[in-house]
Structure 1
Amino acid sequence: MGIGTGIALVVIGAILAFAVNVDLGGVVNLSLIGYILMGAGVVVFLISLVLVLRRRTSTATTRTAVDPASGEQITRSTRDTNDPLV
């Protein structure tokens, strides 16, 4: 959700900075607001990207034991990912 918000802010800021040519009597500078929104969008995008990449960690666990009935060595491997989408 944060990545999409960052992209949306960049797009809205670019529209205000480059496509809108309205004179509001010097009260509001739409180009400056557009540049501010683009900067905020880049910051939101980068923070969201760092958080998404940080969340995708995985842990591998290997356990070895001896079966008391047969005397065989048993190895069990599990892999746990913290990413809910996987």
Structure 2
Amino acid sequence: MGIGTGIALVVIGAILAFAINVDVPAVDLTMIGYILMAAGAVVFLISLILMLRHRQVSSTTRSAVDPNSGERVTRRSTTDNDGPVL
């Protein structure tokens, strides 16, 4: 389930709550619409929080030969979503 699922649940719930005026015995479509909208909001928020917590780490190692001294130089760097970490 993702952000799209949450939005879809909110839209379907709003349609059931506000746009459909059908009288079905033993079923309250307005209440079902409100429940779907609440569930959609919860799914949307959980998906958003999980997406923001996802961290991607990238490590880079570069080796080169210094033209002046002939020594081998190695540079290592690690980056994540918060910025570079050395």
| TM-score, normalised by the number of residues in structure 1 | 0.69
User: Structure 2: how far apart are the matches of 1:20 and 1:62?
Assistant: 57
Structure 1 stretches of at least 4 aligned residues deviating more than 6 Å after TM superposition: 60-63
User: Structure 2: how far apart are the matches of 1:2 and 1:80?
Assistant: 23
Q: Which runs of 5+ in 2 are unaligned?
A: 62-68, 82-86
Cα distance, 1:71 vs structure 2: 6.1
Letter in 2 for 1:48: S
After superposition, what is the alpha-carbon deviation per residue over 1:15-59, rounded to whole angstroms, capped at 9, x for unaligned? 00000000113x10000000000000000000000011101x244
Q: Which runs of 5+ in 1 are unaligned?
A: 64-68, 82-86
| TM-score, normalised by the number of residues in structure 2 | 0.69
Cα distance, 1:76 vs structure 2: 2.5
After superposition, what is the alpha-carbon deviation per residue over 1:51-86, rounded to whole angstroms, capped at 9, x for unaligned? 11101x2447799xxxxx9567654223356xxxxx
* Root-mean-square deviation (Å): 2.8
Q: Which residue of 2 aligns with 1:6?
A: 6
User: Structure 2: how far apart are the matches of 1:2 and 1:58?
Assistant: 19
Q: Which residue of 1 aligns with 2:20?
A: 20
Aligned residues: 75
Query: Secondary structure of the residue that 2:27 maps to in structure 1?
Result: coil
User: Structure 2: how far apart are the matches of 1:72 and 1:5?
Assistant: 53
